[in-house]
Structure formats: C-alpha cells, structure tokens
C-alpha cells in the first residue's frame, strides 16, 4: 500500500449525524463540549472563566475601578453564561467602587478645606494682651 492510503486508514472519520456541528475551518465533526477543534486546533467555543480568574477580575474591579471595566465588558459578550455573569458582576463592582472612591475623596477634600478655612480664620493677635 502507498503511505498516503495507510494514513487515511489510520485516521478513521467519525460518523456524521445531521445535528452534529462541524468545524467552520476544516469541517471536522465536533461535539458541543469542544472548545477547540481536535483536527485543526482552531478555537470553536469560548472556554468558561476559571474561579481564580473570576476572583482576580473582581479584585481588579474593586481596587482599581476604571480598569475593571475592560474585562467586564469583554466577558459580558461571551456565549458562556458563567463568564457573562462574571462580566456583569465586574461592571457592577467597578461602578460601585468608583462611586465610593469619588464620595470618599470628596469627604476627604471637604475636611481639608474646612480645616484650612478654620486655621485661616483664627486671629493670631486675639490672645495678645495690650
């Protein structure tokens, strides 16, 4: 036998069913659980977010509020429900953290302003005896 015919005999093709999805790149039969095509290696579905990555996104959203929007929006458009939920939570945490940061900053600057105003209104000659 020729080497090409031996290779074809060694790699049996799976049985096709009418509902079975095919790889859009190489038309290899797939199952719903595949994230990558086993034949060509192209990405088929977005893998779900891992718990560690999810926690990292939440921490980023809380401690560096504006930066939490980037993964939040990216995950929001995912096909995976868990990843989409992580995106929604990240966006909510980012908005809440931003509002709290602005509120605390305003309180801080108001206290500094009041302290400086109080110090400026003190008459240094008030306690001097004539």
Under a CB-based contact definition with an 8 Å cutoff, are residues 87 and 55 in contact?
Answer: no
CA separation for the pair 75, 73 (Å, rounded) = 5
**Per-residue confidence (pLDDT) for residue 125, from 0 to 100:** 65
Give Cβ neighbours of residue 45 (< 8 Å, ≥ 6 apart).
34, 35, 79, 80
β-partners of residue 29 are 22
User: Which segments of the chain have a pLDDT < 70?
Assistant: 1-18, 122-130
Domains of the chain: which residue ranges?
18-45, 48-120
CA separation for the pair 50, 56 (Å, rounded) = 10
Q: Render pLDDT for 68-102 as a digit per residue (tens, 0 to 9).
A: 899 999 999 888 899 999 999 999 999 999 999 99
**Per-residue confidence (pLDDT) for residue 7, from 0 to 100:** 46
Give Cβ neighbours of residue 70 (< 8 Å, ≥ 6 apart).
none
């Amino acid at each position: 036998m020729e080497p090409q015919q031996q290779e074809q005999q060694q790699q049996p093709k799976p049985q096709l069913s009418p509902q079975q999805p095919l790889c859009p790149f190489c038309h290899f039969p797939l199952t719903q659980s595949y994230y990558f095509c086993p034949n060509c290696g192209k990405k088929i579905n977005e893998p779900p977010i891992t718990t560690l990555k999810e926690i990292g996104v939440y921490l980023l959203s809380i401690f560096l509020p504006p930066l939490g929007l980037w993964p939040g929006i990216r995950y929001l458009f995912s096909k995976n429900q868990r990843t989409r939920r992580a995106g929604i939570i990240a966006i909510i945490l980012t908005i809440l953290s931003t509002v709290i940061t602005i509120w605390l900053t305003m309180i801080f600057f108001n206290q500094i302003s009041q302290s400086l105003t109080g110090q400026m209104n003190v008459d240094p000659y008030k306690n001097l005896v004539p």
